[in-house]
Copies of this chain bind each other. A is one copy, B any other.
Amino acid sequence: MTDRITVVKIGGNVIDDPAALKRFVAEFAALPGAKILVHGGGKVATRLAGKLELEVRMVEGRRITDKGMLDVVTMVYAGLLNKQIVAALQAAGCNAMGLSGADGNAVTARRRSPEPIDYGFVGDIERVDAGLLRRLFEGGITPVFSAIMHDGRGTLLNCNADSVASAVALGAAEVAPTELVFCFEKAGVLRNADDETSLIPRITAESYAELKASGVVSRGMIPKIENALKAVDNGVRRVVIKHAANLSNDLGTAIER
């Protein structure tokens, strides 16, 4: 059916820039083989919450998803952005299908414990239905996931889109060899954050230990790389961190076993 799967995650740096999104859609549609797109939400939800005068509550730098904010992210992520992206992919010849975790019971999540901090309707991924992914691929469908999941008991939950991408890639790896690509605003992991030519082309658990010890890896990259190493440990063939504009070329940092 398919001999390889590419899971691509895009965030606000692509979604908030119409020209970048248009180019991304064309390049993603042209990717060979089976593929899955996972998208974040960018600033659209924050703008809508502002217009609705919803109070944005932050605790320790993280947004609290109360009922009003859950409705906003469900509208923006699972509705507006997801359907705009799907319609654009269809126009580019890619038979995309937008999915929240509730759709086809694709992904279930567990509401995060209210102790020590109650983040509200925020969830952590529990299970991805690899059988559903397989059936969609067999039908020539490209799943497009927002980060809105459900708990299976009727409650929608806002999840971290990077975590959704990792979990979906692990599910896809049960179907065929899977590569996970995180698109962000830099060319990849850099030795010098201000110098795009200082790209590190390949990181393994061994080289990462050295990079971390020597302080080369910036604080923001640490969770990304550690999640990527966990994904390759658990069955994803490799994880690539790159700029969205480089989707169809080899530029980026590959994280491998």
Contacts and interface: CB of A to CB of B under 8 A. Distances in A.
Interface of A: 48, 51-52, 71, 74-80, 82-84, 86-88, 90-91, 95-100, 102-105, 132, 135, 139, 141, 148, 150, 152-156
- Between A78, A83, A84, A155, the greatest number of chain B beta carbons within 10 A of the residue's beta carbon is seen for A83
A contact patch SS: helix
Contact of A95 (B104, B148, B150, B155): B104
B76 A153 contact: no
Contacts of A100: 83, 86, 98
A40 to B, nearest CB: 15
Given A97-B103, A100-B98, A75 B79 contact: yes
A75 B138 CA distance: 30
Contacts of A52: 51-52
Contacts of A150: 83, 86-87, 90
Contact of A90 (B71, B105, B135): B105
B79 A80 contact: yes
